[in-house]
Chain A
Amino acid sequence: MRLTLDNLACRRAGRLVYHGLHFAVEAGQAAALRGPNGVGKSTLLRQLAGLIPVAGGDARLGDISLTRDRQGFQERVAYAGHLDAVKPALSVGENLTLWAGIHGNDAARAGAALARFGLDVIANRPAAQCSAGQQRRLGLARLLVADRPLWLLDEPTVSLDTEAAALVADLVREHIAAGGLALIATHVELGLGDIATLEMTPPEPDAHHQDDPFLAGSWT
């Protein structure tokens, strides 16, 4: 399995965020996504998670096309974004067990993921009382209860301590060693060694390009 970005483009509210993205990640590889703030790193990850429509080009995972089989593509993706999707009213353990259940896995699986992130000691604590770093760990632990080959991580080490950041690097290494793929947007060194990097740059402002026929003057 191989992730290929083929001339991928994204447009939000008429504004071209990026276009002509070409990149490939092989199975067993991790790749970093770098670039200045606002260049569209999070947008690209959300697009690859099937949450934002593709404006041009395509992304393929193996022979599954994002534009033609979005559902199939989504079922192979695990996404950890800025939001941790943690419910403050539930305990730490409940939060993860329920997600494990939604992904068809049992509570033992959730327990193992909690232990891995050092959350098993606070499994009965309401998530509302967890620190930002603990909530982030809980959000990342969801990666371990969903068996997905492609991990899309959006600045996974934000608010994590050095120990947990090293753990994230370990998990990514284990994931790719098992044949998985990972695409990680980050501004810091992840400790993954020398990995492929997709350097994103802002698109050149193109005054003539306008998709909206009204704004382009076709109606005048």
Chain B
Amino acid sequence: MRAIASLLGRDLRLALRLGGGGGIGIAFFVLTVLLIPLGVGPETATLARIAGGVLWIAALLAALLSLDRIFQADFEDGSLDQLMLSPLALEQVVLAKCIAHWLTTGLPMALIAPLLGVMLQLPESALPALVIGMALGTPALSLIGAIGAAITVGVRRGGLLLSILVLPLYIPTLIFGARAVEQALLDLSPWPSLGLLAALTLFAAALAPFAAAAALRINTR
């Protein structure tokens, strides 16, 4: 437990320090959403209708932007070799890194989403579905992204390849996340979609540590 806490603390510190890129994802998320009313105009009805989808797409892209920092720096400076020799199983290392990534991207995005929702004229009744959906769905973004990040860890400038690999895998999360907001907007129950979002996250949590660890083992050879 102490080892996992140490690793988690290390990754959080690294993300929040200068050059760690922890704040970049959130800033990107906020900026992208702020651009939408400027682009599509201020009509309340239009904005409210697209708000859920816009927020989720922005969250996807913001998560994508910070994915390469999960393993890339550790791979380049030799920390990954040392982590493979640590008492932790590599799967635990992956999971701890995913949690650190989520705490510095997914969680702050879920917390700031209602403010942006209000700005996009999303009615108050739809805000809980947005926040709960983000809280349940964004861990899947970090976990699935970790698989892509592990596969592309040895590739120079692998960010683009990473996007192409990972974005298609984000589609189910996007569909159910945006759908939950839409259902709340139409006064339907958002819980079926939220349940599926949680299921996607659990599925990713069960699969990603093993898949990413296997990819890392191949890439450190």
Interface-located stretch among A24-32, A85-93, A162-170, A208-216: A85-93
Decide yes or no: A101 and B77 within 8 Å by CB, A51-B221, A90-B14, A94-B13 being known contacts: no
User: A79 at the A/B interface (Cβ < 8 Å)?
Assistant: yes
A85 & B84 in contact (Cβ 8 Å cutoff)? no
Say yes or no: A103-B79 contact (C-beta < 8 A), given A52-B221, A89-B19.
no
Q: Total interface residues on B, using CB and 8 Å?
A: 29
Which residues between 1 and 44 of chain B lie within 8 Å of chain A, taking CB atoms?
2-3, 5-7, 9-10, 13-14, 17-20
CA distance A71 to B46 in the complex (A): 57
Could you say which of B85, B87, B221 contacts A53, with CB atoms under 8 Å apart? B221
- Chain B residues with CB under 8 Å of A83's CB are 77-78, 81
Contacts of A98 in B (CB 8 A): 6-7, 9-10
A102 touches B77 (CB 8 A): no
A47: nearest chain-B partner, CB-CB: B221
Is the Cβ of B13 less than 8 Å from the Cβ of A90?
Answer: yes
Q: How far is the CB of A20 from chain B (nearest CB, A)?
A: 21
Number of A-B contacts (CB under 8 A): 83
Are B78 and A89 in contact, with the CB atoms below 8 A? no
Q: Once the chains are docked, how many angstroms separate the CA of A12 from the CA of B2?
A: 36
Residues on A with C-beta less than 8 A from B2 are: 101, 104
What is the interface size of chain A, counting residues whose CB is below 8 A from a CB of the partner? 33
Q: Which of B9, B78, B85, B89 has the most chain A CB within a 10 Å cutoff?
A: B85
| CB-CB under 8 A for A103 and B3, given A85-B77, A142-B82 | yes
Q: B216 CB to closest chain A CB, in angstroms?
A: 11
Interface membership of A77, Cβ < 8 A = yes
| Contact between B19 and A77, CB atoms less than 8 A apart | no
A104 touches B3 (CB 8 A): yes
In the bound assembly, the distance between CA atoms of A12 and B14 in angstroms comes to: 34
A13, closest chain B residue (CB)? B221
Are B14 and A89 interface neighbours, CB within 8 A?
Answer: yes
**Restricting to B85-99, which residues have a CB under 8 Å from any CB of A?**
85-89
Query: Which A residues are CB-close (under 8 A) to B7?
Result: 98, 101-102
- Given known A-B contacts A71-B89, A90-B14, A102-B88, A49 and B3 have beta carbons under 8 A apart: no
Assess whether A82 is interfacial by the CB under 8 Å rule: yes
**Given the contacts A83-B78, A90-B13, A94-B13, A75 and B6 also touching, CB distance less than 8 Å:** no
Assess whether A87 is in contact with B82, with CB atoms less than 8 Å apart: no
Contact B9 A89 (CB under 8 A): no
A88 CB → nearest B CB, Å: 8
Q: Report how far A77 CA is from B81 CA in the complex, Å.
A: 12
Q: A86 CA to B2 CA in the complex, in Å?
A: 20
List chain B residues, Cβ under 8 A from A82: 78
Residue of B7, B13, B77 with most chain A CB atoms under a 10 A cut-off: B77
Q: Is the CB of A87 within 8 A of B14?
A: yes
Write the nearest CB–CB distance from A151 to chain B, whole angstroms.
12
Most chain B CB inside 10 Å of its own CB: which residue of A79, A85, A139: A85
**Shortest beta-carbon contacts, A-B, top 9:** A83-B78, A101-B6, A89-B17, A85-B78, A85-B79, A98-B10, A85-B82, A102-B6, A102-B3
- Beyond contacts A53-B221, A75-B85, A89-B14: 19 other A-B pairs, Cβ-Cβ < 8 A, are A50-B85, A71-B89, A78-B85, A79-B81, A79-B82, A81-B78, A81-B81, A85-B82, A87-B73, A89-B20, A90-B14, A90-B17, A99-B82, A102-B3, A102-B10, A102-B88, A103-B87, A104-B87, A146-B85
A sample of 21 inter-chain contacts (CB < 8 A) reads: A12-B221, A49-B81, A53-B221, A74-B85, A81-B78, A84-B78, A85-B77, A85-B78, A85-B79, A86-B77, A89-B17, A90-B10, A90-B13, A98-B10, A101-B2, A101-B9, A102-B10, A102-B87, A103-B3, A104-B2, A146-B85
